[in-house]
Amino acid sequence: MEKARLDPMVETPALLLDRQRMDRNIARMRAHLSTLGVQMRPHVKTNKCLEVARRLFDDGCGPITVSTLREARFFFEHGFTDILYGVAIAPNKFAQAAELVRMGASLTLVLDSMETTRQLAAYATDQRQKFDVLLEIDCDGHRSGLAPDSPLIVEIAHALRLGGIEVKGVMTHAGNSYNSKSIAQIEAYACQERDAVLLAAKTLRNAGFAAPVVSVGSTPTALFAKDLTGVTEVRAGVFVFFDLVMAGLGVCQLSDIALSVLTTVIGHQPEKGWTIVDAGWMALSRDRGTASQAVDQGYGVVCDVHGAPLPDMIVVAANQEHGIVAARDGCAGAAAFPVGTQLRIFPNHACATAAQHGGYHVTGDQVPSAYWPRFGGW
């Protein structure tokens, strides 16, 4: 008889991390970037976990990207010194950043406006504080950043120099690659991302700034870029775990997804073909990233306890601590999962689902063997 539970038992809902899949995903990214001859500066916002971050590097402490200064401080205190804070710095965070620099962090900041530039330059002058700064470039209209041909690029570099800050280079993020409809489109986004920062870097160099750093990154473009000549580093985060959004893009297979939520069947609505489980949006997150993809995976793809996807079974709705599992085509399959059955759910978005949990129950050969804590907050 098929074993219907993990053993030793983990209380549900719980976040499981398949270590073998994670290691394979990391190896894939490293091999690809090594072929392209470019450094990896992984984004640790996805994992927020020391044990995961250490596995990204041979020496355990390579260059990283963070999304909060709390991440910067945590990883710095645990031996990571080369840190890019990938969100535009605001004046209320200058003092926090300066403190990290004084403590010895090689912390790089990002900005994209003359407003911030003037305030940072004034702060740097006033406090006699050096900062490393990259200019954020907007390669696809997705979010922040200066246009690659903006005259502000050189103006900001000059204004920074007046404050004693020598601009270190440029960075961008191809956020729109998440909306790609084909691998060919991802490849095109990768070229667009590269070309945007190469243009901005060239403009800076023509104006007399060395701008040694040219930084790009998103998991789709990082994995499908064919030529990153001129790029010095690649940031990406979700590749470590992968998720249903990445699978929907064709960037990975379901069998590459290293993260899942372990859940227990707590009831049924037999007339509707519903199985009720104890993983609601608190355990899965409210992320519906696959809603805009060709296949909408609801709140996640349902697997058996060993992680094998159950054909067409998804979480169709979620309340705080209730998930409703049903067949995508509406055909009842509820009887197959008696109360107490353990199931696993692949998440839409690894960053969002992981953030709902205090840590990872690490599985190697299906048995949780370790617990790796995460942190959160700001």
Q: What is the pairing mode between strands 82-85 and 64-66?
A: parallel
Chosen residue from 123, 281, 346, 360 binding a second copy by CB under 8 A: 281
Using CB under 8 A as the binding rule, whether residue 124 contacts a second copy is answered as: no
Q: Candidates 28-36, 159-167, 307-315, 347-355 — which segment interacts with a second copy by CB under 8 A?
A: 347-355
d(CA 16, CA 31): 25
Using CB under 8 A as the binding rule, whether residue 67 contacts a second copy is answered as: yes
d(CA 363, CA 361): 6
d(CA 296, CA 294): 6
Using CB under 8 A as the binding rule, whether residue 378 contacts a second copy is answered as: yes
d(CA 217, CA 112): 17
Beta-carbon contacts of 254 under 8 Å, excluding residues fewer than 6 positions away, are 244, 247, 301, 309, 346
Q: Which is nearer to a second copy, 243 or 287 (CB)?
A: 287
Beta-ladder partners of 317:
324
Identify the residue whose tokens are 């054909």.
311
Chosen residue from 190, 211, 283, 362 binding a second copy by CB under 8 A: 283
Using CB under 8 A as the binding rule, whether residue 278 contacts a second copy is answered as: yes
Using DSSP, state whether 23 is helix, strand or coil.
Answer: helix
Using CB under 8 A as the binding rule, whether residue 241 contacts a second copy is answered as: no
Residues in the chain: 378
d(CA 204, CA 154): 6
Using CB under 8 A as the binding rule, whether residue 267 contacts a second copy is answered as: yes
Residues 156-215 that bind a second copy (CB under 8 A): 175
CA nearest neighbour of 154 among 225, 198, 106, 202: 202
Q: Which is nearer to a second copy, 30 or 142 (CB)?
A: 142
Size of the site for a second copy (CB under 8 A): 64
Hey, what are 307's tokens? 């992680």
Q: Which is nearer to a second copy, 38 or 134 (CB)?
A: 134
Q: Which is nearer to a second copy, 13 or 307 (CB)?
A: 13
Q: Which is nearer to a second copy, 12 or 25 (CB)?
A: 12
The Cα-based distances of 336 to 3, 4, 77, 269, 342 in angstroms read 14, 12, 49, 13, 12
Using CB under 8 A as the binding rule, whether residue 115 contacts a second copy is answered as: yes
180 CB-side CA count, 13 A? 26
d(CA 192, CA 179): 14
Chosen residue from 31, 162, 308, 339 binding a second copy by CB under 8 A: 339
Residues 307-336 that bind a second copy (CB under 8 A): 317, 319-322, 324
Using CB under 8 A as the binding rule, whether residue 91 contacts a second copy is answered as: yes
Beta-ladder partners of 17:
259, 362
Task: Provide, rounded to whole angstroms, the least separation between the CB of residue 321 and a second copy.
Answer: 5
Q: Which is nearer to a second copy, 206 or 320 (CB)?
A: 320
Site residues (CB under 8 A) for a second copy?
Answer: 5, 9, 11-14, 45, 67-68, 87-93, 96, 111-113, 115-116, 119, 138, 141, 143-144, 175, 264-269, 272, 276, 278, 281-283, 285-288, 317, 319-322, 324, 338-340, 342, 349, 351-352, 355-358, 376-378
